[in-house]
C-alpha cells in the first residue's frame, strides 16, 4: 500500500482527503513526506491531478516535492499545479492579463528595480532622499499591498496620514500612488502585486472566481504559518466552493512577521473552519532527545500557540553545550576550536557545521577567526547569482526585448556599455515620457529635432531602440538560447568586461557564460511540450522562447539557493536564513539581552514570543549537537557594549544544559563593567519605581526629525531627566533607542512617542 511507509499520525493526515484539514507539523516530523504522500494518495484515489493546487514558499521545495510525487505515481505528477504563491498566481495573471489591462508579457520587478523607481519618484517630487529613504518607503508600500490596502485607500485613511506626518513623511501616499502608476505604465508588477492583483481578479470578476474554484478542487498549502493577509484571502476564496483545503505548518516556527506573515492565520484555522480536522505530527526524526526536549522547554513558555509535544526515538545525545566568553572575539575562537575538535575526534566534515546568529553584523568576528584558523566557510544570504550586477545587466536587455515598456530595464542599459548618451538627454526623455504618459521606449521612438536633444544623441537613442525592436520581432521565431546569445553579443557587455581592468572582470565574464549555459539548459530540458493551463491539453513547443525564460528567472525567490552539499565549508547565516535547513552540529552565538531577544522586540509580548520562536527554530536545526554561546562584551554599531546573558537561556530546562552553564551563573556579578555602566539591564532587574527620584522637567532643544538622533548624544526627557543615547535601532516610525538616564537608569523608548529633546 502507498501509505504503508508513514507513521500512524502521518497516515491519518494523508488519508483524510475531504473537507478542511490542519496538519500541525513539529520540527523534523516529516512534514514534506506527509504532504507528498497525501497528494499521491489523492491521485491514486482518482482525483484528477489538474484539479490539485499545491502552494509552497520556494521553487526548490515545489520541485523536490514534485520529484517525490513522480516516484510514487509516475508521469501524472507533471499535471499538478504546484509552485510558490508568486509563480502560480503570476501564471494565472498572465492568462487573465487583459482583464487588468496588462500585456501577458508584463515584467516582474524585484526589490532593486522597485527601489530604483522609488528613488526616481522621490527625486522628481523634490523630496529629501534621506527622509524618504527608498527601503523604508518600499517596506511601507509592501506592507500595505500585503494587507490589500491600495494607494487610494492609503491616501484616504486619516490614521495613515497622521502617522506619516508624525514621522515627517507626509507624502508617502502620493509616492505610493505614483509608484503604482509608473508600474502600470511600464507594464510591470512587483512581487506584492502578484498577490494583490490576484485578489483583484477574484474580487472583481465572479466568472474568474468560479472558473478557478472549479479548477482547484483540492488545495494544499505548505508553511501556512508564514502566509500573510493577502495569501490568506486568496486561499479562502479559492477553497470556498469545495472546501477541500489542507494547510500544513508549525505555529512554533512562525518567524516572518516583519515580512507580513500573520501567525493568526494558523492559530485561527479552526475558527475559520469549525468542521476542520486537526492532525499533529509530533515525532521528530531529526534531533537527539536532549535537543528536542530542550527546544520543547523553550517554546512552552509562549502563550500564543497550539498545544503539542514533540518527541523522538533518537538517541539521548549530548547535553546542550554552553560557553560564556568575555568578548565576541573569544566567542568566535571558542566556536572555531570546537569545530576543529569535532572534526578531528568525530570524523566530521566542515559542511556538517552551521553557525547561526541573530544579525548579520555578528559575522565579522566569526569570519576573522575562521580565516585565521584556515577553516573554509560560506555566508548565506549573500548576493544570489541572478542578483549580480553583470547578470542583471544582461537580464535587463532580455527584459526590454520581452517588454518594451519596462522603464527600469531601459534606464539600466540605455547607456551601458557607454553609447555617449548623457544624463541631461535622459532627463529630457523622461520629461517627454511623463508629459505624454508613455513609456521611455515609446518616447524614444518619437524623438525628432524638436525634442531639445542633440541630433547626434537622438540618432544614438533611435539606433538603440531599433536594435531592441529587431530582437523583439524575433521572440517567437527563435529559441531563448539563440536569441539570448545574439543579444549578449550585440550588447557589447562581454567586450566591455574584457577591456575592464577590474580584477574581478574575469569572474564576471564567467558568470555571463554561466547564464548562457542556463539558457541552453532551459532550451534542452526534456519537456518538449507544455500543457494548456486549464484543459491539460498538450501544446507542442518547437521553440522555448526568451519571454518564458525571463518569467521563470524573475520568480526565483531568495530561498531558492544552491546549497551545493558537496562543498565542504562551514555555513554562516542568520537564524531566519536557516529555517528549513538542518546540520549535525549547530552553534547559536550572541545569546545576549538586547541582541537575542532583539531590543526592538521587548516592547510587547507578541514580539517577544516571535523572538522565542526564532530561538526554537535555531535549536531545532541541530541533529547531533547544539551549542549556545554569549559574550560579556561585544562591539555593536562601532561601540563596545556590555551584555547580560539572554533571558532565553533561562527558558531552557537546566537538566538539558552542560555543566558550563551552572559554572558561569555568577560570572556576571563579577563583571565590573556591567556594574559600573548598568548597560544591558534586563527587564527582570529594572529598578523599582519607588527607588527612582522623579527629576524636575528640564528644557531642551526639540529635534526636527528622528534621524537627528545619534548614539552617544546627550538628551533630556520630561519624566526621566538627563541621559545619553546608548543604542539606536530601526528606521522611521520603528526607530527605538536605549537611553541611560542619570536618575532613572536604562530605558528603552520608541522615539516617535518619547518626545526626547537635545540637551541645551
Instruction: Mention every residue, 6+ apart, whose C-beta is less than 8 A from residue 355.
Output: 335, 366, 570, 571, 572, 573, 587, 589
160 to 332, 710, 729: CA distances (angstroms): 44, 27, 22
Distance between start and end Cα atoms, the chain: 80
Share of the chain above pLDDT 90, in %: 61
Average pLDDT over residues 531-544: 47
What pLDDT score was predicted for residue 143? 93
3-state secondary structure 682-700: CHHHCCCHHHCCCCCCCCE
Each residue of 332-349: pLDDT tens digit? 999 999 999 999 999 899
What pLDDT score was predicted for residue 689? 31
Each residue of 427-467: pLDDT tens digit? 999 999 988 999 999 999 988 867 788 899 999 999 999 99
pLDDT winner (highest mean) among 238-242, 579-583, 694-698, 706-710: 238-242
Q: Which residues are catalytic?
A: 31-32, 222-223, 253, 621
Distance CA 529, CA 506 (A): 37
Nine-digit cell at 22? 490542519
**CB-based contact 174:125 (threshold 8 Å):** yes
pLDDT winner (highest mean) among 33-47, 648-662, 686-700: 33-47
Average pLDDT over residues 546-567: 70
Question: Which is nearest to 720 in space by CA: 700, 747, 686?
Answer: 747
The DSSP secondary-structure symbol of 655 reads G
Each residue of 294-305: pLDDT tens digit? 999 999 999 988
pLDDT band at 687 (very low <50, low <70, confident <90, very high): very low
DSSP string, 681-750: --GGGPPPGGGSPPPPP--EE--S-GGG--TT-EEEETTTEEEEEEEEE--GGG-EEEEEETTTEEEEEE
Distance CA 408, CA 400 (A): 9
Nine-digit cell at 698? 528640564
Each residue of 399-437: pLDDT tens digit? 999 999 999 999 999 999 988 898 999 999 999 998 899
What pLDDT score was predicted for residue 557? 52
For residue 751, pLDDT over 80 is answered with: no
- Model-level pTM? 0.79
Nine-digit cell at 521? 539548459
C-alpha dihedral sign at 123, 129, 132, 134? positive
pLDDT band at 59 (very low <50, low <70, confident <90, very high): confident
Instruction: Mention every residue, 6+ apart, whose C-beta is less than 8 A from residue 636.
Output: 361, 595, 727
The DSSP secondary-structure symbol of 230 reads H
Each residue of 585-626: pLDDT tens digit? 999 999 999 899 988 888 788 899 999 999 999 999 999 999
For residue 691, pLDDT over 80 is answered with: no
Average pLDDT for the chain: 86
Of 196-200, 246-250, 311-315, 509-513, the one with minimum mean pLDDT is 509-513
For residue 669, pLDDT over 50 is answered with: no
Cβ-based neighbour number of residue 167 at 10 Å:
20
Nine-digit cell at 578? 536557516
**Main-chain phi, psi angles of 693, to 5 degrees:** -70, 130
Question: Which is nearest to 508 in space by CA: 399, 391, 409?
Answer: 391
Each residue of 705-746: pLDDT tens digit? 777 787 778 888 877 778 888 778 776 666 778 887 776 667
For residue 248, pLDDT over 60 is answered with: yes
Of 138-142, 379-383, 552-556, 586-590, the one with minimum mean pLDDT is 379-383
What pLDDT score was predicted for residue 131? 92
pLDDT band at 259 (very low <50, low <70, confident <90, very high): confident
Distance CA 284, CA 30 (A): 8
Each residue of 478-497: pLDDT tens digit? 999 999 999 999 999 999 98
What pLDDT score was predicted for residue 337? 94
Amino acid at each position: 500500500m502507498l501509505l504503508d511507509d508513514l507513521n500512524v499520525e502521518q497516515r491519518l493526515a494523508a488519508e483524510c482527503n475531504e473537507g478542511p484539514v490542519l496538519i500541525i507539523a513539529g520540527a523534523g516530523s516529516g512534514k514534506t513526506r506527509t504532504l507528498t504522500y497525501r497528494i499521491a494518495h489523492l491521485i491514486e484515489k482518482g482525483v484528477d491531478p489538474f484539479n490539485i493546487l499545491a502552494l509552497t514558499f520556494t521553487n526548490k521545495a515545489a520541485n523536490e516535492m514534485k520529484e517525490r510525487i513522480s516516484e510514487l505515481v509516475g508521469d501524472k505528477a507533471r499535471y499538478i499545479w504546484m509552485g510558490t504563491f508568486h509563480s502560480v498566481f503570476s501564471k494565472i495573471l498572465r492568462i487573465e492579463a487583459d482583464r487588468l489591462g496588462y500585456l501577458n508579457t508584463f515584467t516582474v520587478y524585484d526589490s532593486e528595480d522597485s527601489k530604483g523607481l522609488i528613488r526616481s519618484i522621490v527625486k522628481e517630487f523634490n523630496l529629501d532622499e534621506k527622509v524618504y529613504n527608498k527601503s523604508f518607503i518600499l517596506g511601507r508600500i509592501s506592507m500595505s499591498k500585503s494587507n490589500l490596502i491600495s494607494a487610494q485607500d492609503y491616501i484616504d485613511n486619516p490614521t495613515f496620514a497622521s502617522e506619516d506626518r508624525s514621522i515627517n513623511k507626509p507624502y508617502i501616499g502620493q509616492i505610493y500612488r505614483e509608484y503604482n502608476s509608473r508600474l502600470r505604465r511600464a507594464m510591470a508588477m512587483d512581487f506584492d502585486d502578484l498577490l494583490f492583483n490576484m485578489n483583484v481578479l477574484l474580487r472583481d470578476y465572479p466568472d474568474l472566481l468560479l472558473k478557478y474554484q472549479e479548477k482547484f478542487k483540492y488545495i494544499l498549502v505548505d508553511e501556512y504559518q508564514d502566509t500573510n493577509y493577502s495569501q490568506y484571502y486568496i486561499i479562502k476564496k479559492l477553497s470556498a466552493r469545495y472546501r477541500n483545503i489542507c494547510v500544513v505548518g508549525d505555529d512554533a516556527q512562525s518567524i516572518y512577521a516583519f515580512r507580513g506573515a500573520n501567525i493568526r492565520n494558523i492559530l485561527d484555522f479552526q475558527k475559520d473552519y469549525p468542521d476542520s480536522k486537526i492532525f499533529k505530527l509530533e515525532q521528530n526524526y531529526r534531533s537527539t532527545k536532549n535537543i528536542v526536549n530542550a527546544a520543547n522547554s523553550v517554546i512552552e513558555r509562549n502563550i500564543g500557540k497550539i498545544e503539542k509535544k514533540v518527541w523522538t526515538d533518537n538517541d539521548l545525545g549530548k547535553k546542550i553545550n554552553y560557553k560564556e566568553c568575555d568578548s565576541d572575539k573569544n566567542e568566535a575562537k571558542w566556536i572555531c576550536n570546537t569545530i576543529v575538535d569535532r572534526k578531528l575526534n568525530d570524523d566530521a566534515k566542515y559542511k556538517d557545521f552551521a553557525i547561526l546568529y541573530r544579525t548579520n553584523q555578528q559575522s565579522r568576528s566569526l569570519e576573522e577567526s575562521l580565516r585565521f584558523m584556515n577553516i573554509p566557510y560560506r555566508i548565506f544570504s549573500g548576493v544570489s547569482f541572478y542578483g549580480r550586477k553583470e547578470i542583471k545587466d544582461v537580464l535587463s536587455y532580455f527584459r526590454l526585448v520581452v517588454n518594451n515598456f519596462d522603464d527600469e530595464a531601459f534606464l539600466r542599459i540605455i547607456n551601458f556599455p557607454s553609447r555617449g548618451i548623457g544624463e541631461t538627454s535622459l532627463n529630457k526623455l523622461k520629461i517627454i515620457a511623463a508629459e505624454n504618459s508613455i513609456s521611455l521606449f515609446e518616447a524614444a521612438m518619437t524623438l525628432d529635432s524638436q525634442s531639445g536633444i542633440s541630433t547626434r544623441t537622438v540618432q544614438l537613442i533611435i539606433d538603440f531602440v531599433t536594435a531592441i525592436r529587431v530582437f523583439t520581432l524575433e521572440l517567437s521565431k527563435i529559441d531563448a538560447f539563440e536569441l539570448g546569445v545574439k543579444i549578449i553579443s550585440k550588447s557589447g557587455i562581454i567586450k566591455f568586461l574584457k577591456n575592464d581592468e577590474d580584477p574581478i572582470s574575469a569572474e564576471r565574464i564567467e558568470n555571463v557564460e554561466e547564464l548562457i549555459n542556463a539558457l541552453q539548459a532551459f532550451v534542452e530540458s526534456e519537456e518538449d511540450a507544455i500543457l494548456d493551463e486549464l484543459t491539460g491539453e498538450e501544446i507542442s513547443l518547437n521553440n522555448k522562447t526568451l519571454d518564458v525564460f525571463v518569467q521563470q528567472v524573475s520568480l526565483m525567490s531568495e530561498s531558492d539557493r544552491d546549497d551545493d552539499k558537496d562543498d565542504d565549508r562551514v555555513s554562516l547565516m542568520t537564524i531566519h536564513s536557516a529555517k528549513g535547513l538542518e546540520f549535525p552540529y549547530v552553534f547559536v552565538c550572541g545569546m545576549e539581552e538586547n541582541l537575542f531577544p532583539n531590543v526592538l522586540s521587548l516592547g510587547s509580548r507578541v514580539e517577544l514570543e516571535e523572538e522565542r520562536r526564532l530561538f526554537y527554530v535555531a535549536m531545532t536545526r541541530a541533529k547531533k549537537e547544539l551549542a549556545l554561546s554569549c559574550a560579556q562584551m561585544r562591539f555593536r554599531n562601532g561601540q563596545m557594549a556590555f551584555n547580560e546573558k539572554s533571558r532565553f537561556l533561562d527558558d531552557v530546562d537546566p537538566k538539558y544544559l552542560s555543566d558550563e552553564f551552572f559554572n558561569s551563573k555568577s560570572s556576571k556579578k563579577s563583571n565590573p563593567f556591567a556594574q559600573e555602566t548598568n548597560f544591558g539591564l534586563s527587564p527582570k532587574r529594572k529598578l523599582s519605581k519607588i527607588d527612582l527620584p522623579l527629576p524636575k522637567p528640564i528644557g531642551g532643544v526639540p529635534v526636527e526629525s528622528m534621524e537627528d538622533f545619534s548614539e552617544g548624544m546627550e538628551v533630556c526627557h520630561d519624566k526621566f531627566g538627563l541621559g545619553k543615547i546608548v543604542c539606536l535601532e530601526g528606521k522611521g516610525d520603528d526607530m527605538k533607542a536605549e537611553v541611560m538616564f542619570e536618575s532613572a537608569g536604562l530605558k528603552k523608548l520608541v522615539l516617535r512617542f518619547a518626545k526626547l529633546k537635545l540637551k541645551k
